[in-house]
Each structure stands twice: as structure tokens, then as C-alpha cells.
Chain A
Amino acid sequence: DIQMTQSPSSVSASVGDRVTITCQASQAIGTWLAWYQQKPGQAPKLLIFPASRLQSGVPSRFSGSGSGTDFTLTISSLQPEDFATYYCQQANSFPLAFGQGTRLEIK
């Protein structure tokens, strides 16, 4: 089974900051990697899949990169609505797996 390791588990940042979240797969998954954003009390929202393709309607300040085992999500200039929890997910094979999540908090 493929395990996903996400870091950091939490990060404090200010509006306008650049933030990077990393995700590592326990084995190569090509670009079968998705990123989700979840706000309190809401279902997750798909941001990026495969590894670097923004979903329709996602602001261009979000970007994803990586392939194989190492991936990153970058938010270039944080906006107030970006403070949320972010999850990576391997979509290569069953059983599917999410990272532990990164909580992005306002400094």
C-alpha cells in the first residue's frame, strides 16, 4: 500500500506570504497526485490534479509540482480565504491514501 507523508502539519503565515506544502509518496505514483482544500464544516474541494493542473475556477496563485514520489503545493500570495487545511492524495492505485493534512493558520 502507498503511504503519503505531508509536511508541515501546520504553518502560520500572513496575508501576502508565499507558502509551500510538501507531500511524499512511499513509492512512485507518476503524477497521480491530487490536492484538496478543506474549510471548517465543509467538504473538501479539489484544487489540483494531476500533480500540476489547476482545476477550473481555482485561482492562479495556487500551483502544484512534482512527479514520482515528491510533490509540492505552493500558494504564491496568501489571501484571507486561503486559510484552511490542505490534503494531498495519491490517486495511482487502491487503496487510496491521503496525507495527514496541513493546517494553514493566520499569523
Chain B
Amino acid sequence: QVHLVESGGGVVQPGGSLRVSCEASGFTFRNYGMSWVRQAPGKGLQWVAFIQSDANKEYYSDSVKGRFTVSRDNSKNTLYLHMSGLRADDSAVYYCAKGIDPAVVTVFDDWGQGTLVTVSS
């Protein structure tokens, strides 16, 4: 049974930095591409970032490019999102999401419960 557990959310001041994590279990983490998807309060879903299974390739949405960095530690079955230059419009629940199989990395069949990031002074 797949489990994805996010942590590290909290309140951060504008311009600040934060790292959120996603600990994975129940599947062979090193074989799957992973993404971060966020949802601002009362709003829709927004894809944020993707990292390939071997960490050799990353993609970002235009809204976070240059400010956010996705990484992973396959020895620890953990996905990370390091966020810097945070703005109020980055406030959201951040979900980690797993691709449906190693060859299809752009569709998500398992999601974590999310971690809330609030950017406020």
C-alpha cells in the first residue's frame, strides 16, 4: 500500500525560505518520477515541479522557476521541495504525487495528505 507523507509546512515571512519533504513507502521509490502539486485555499490545483526517478531531469512551472528546487534522496525514499523567495501567492497546501507507473510520470495515482505553507508577515 502506497503511503506519501508530507511534512515541513508552516508560516514563513515573505522573501523567506522553507523546505518541505515527502516520505514515501509501499512502492519502489527509486523507480518513479515524482511531482509537487499545490492548491491555494479555496482554489484549484496547480502543478509545481517534477523530478525524474534518477534525479537527472527536473521541470518547473513558470511561477516557481528560479525560486523553487525539487530534489530527492532515493536512499531515504524522500522527495523534497526547497522554496525560496516566497511570496503571498505561494501560500497553499503542497501535495507530493506519484506517477502511475515508471513510464507514465505525468499522471498521478497516489497523493499525500498535503502540507500547508503560509507566507505572511
Known A-B contacts A87-B44, A96-B35; the reply to A46 vs B113 at CB < 8 A is no
CB closest chain-A residue, reference B112: A43
Known A-B contacts A43-B113, A49-B100; the reply to A98 vs B107 at CB < 8 A is no
A27 at the interface (CB under 8 A from B): no
B61 at the interface (CB under 8 A from A): yes
B44 touches A96 (CB 8 A): no
Give chain B's interface residues, CB within 8 Å of chain A. Answer: 35, 44-47, 50, 59-62, 95, 100, 104, 106-109, 111-114
Give chain A's interface residues, CB within 8 Å of chain B. Answer: 1, 32, 34, 36, 38, 43-44, 46, 49, 55, 87, 89, 91-101
CA distance in complex: A49, B105 (Å): 12
How many residue pairs, one in A and one in B, have C-beta atoms under 8 Å apart?
53
CB closest chain-B residue, reference A50: B107
Does more than half of chain A's interface fall in helix, strand or loop, or is it mixed?
Answer: loop
A94 touches B108 (CB 8 A): no
CA distance in complex: A49, B35 (Å): 17
B114 touches A43 (CB 8 A): yes
Known A-B contacts A43-B114, A87-B45, A98-B45; the reply to A1 vs B107 at CB < 8 A is no
CB closest chain-A residue, reference B63: A95
